[in-house]
Amino acid sequence: MTTEEQIARLESEVAKLKDRGKDGWDKFGVACSALIPIAIAGVGGYYSYHSQHTATAVADIRAAAESKIKQAELVSKFFEPLMGNDPKRSEFAVRALLVAAPDYGPTLVRVVAENTRAPAEAAYASDALSERRDALIRQMFSDDARQRVDGYQQLLASWGSDELLIPAVIAYGSGNTSNGNGIYNSLVLLSHMQRDTIQKRKVDIIAFTKLVEGKGDKIRERADVLRSRLGA
């Protein structure tokens, strides 16, 4: 199936969901209405760069665009179990989206946690988000460089404005100070989070930088960058 056919199919699936009535669509409208434009924008990027980049760059852009489309397609398939009355199906959808749709899943699960009227469903979604966040933090300390980068990217994309990410990163990093790669990645992540978010935990972050800055020149330099961003 071509990229153009994927876009057409995805738009059709979302149109069907809209036609099912406002109850379900309104619940996810704000978060989900952005999926199609984002996915299509990625494909648009592929075409706009087609004549300006090497074949390798074009292939990378196309692969990224198609990944977003596939994730958006997956999200559309999980709308019904997320909005349904079957707790088991809803829990499965939450878990699947967090892992299989990293670009969109955390946002949708957060919508469930914050807006559902079912306390048990809200608690499950919130717990699943925390578990996924913590798993990605551990991933930043992996021996595999690709895993470390992937963990960092997912955390920044989906939790970059979440204040609660900060104590979670600090707690894990404080217990694993011998892992230089993980500590460095933690400092990079904190420095790349939204400025107003990290300012709320300025004291804790500075204390963390002081704890780890003796672990090497590279880490010390990164700690200085983070403190500078905090105005310290």
- pLDDT higher than 90, residue 16: no
Alpha carbon of residue 58 to chain centroid:
24
For range 161-182, the mean pLDDT? 97
pTM flag (> 0.85): no
The answer to whether 95 touches 87, Cβ cutoff 8 Å, is no
- If phi over 0 gives left and psi between -120 and 50 gives alpha, with beta otherwise, what is residue 21? left
Q: What is the chain's mean pLDDT, rounded?
A: 78
Task: Please spell the DSSP secondary structure of 86-101, one letter per residue.
Answer: -HHHHHHHHHHHHHH-
Mean per-residue pLDDT, 133-159:
95
- Is pLDDT above 50 for 62? yes
Q: Residue 198 above 80 pLDDT? A: yes
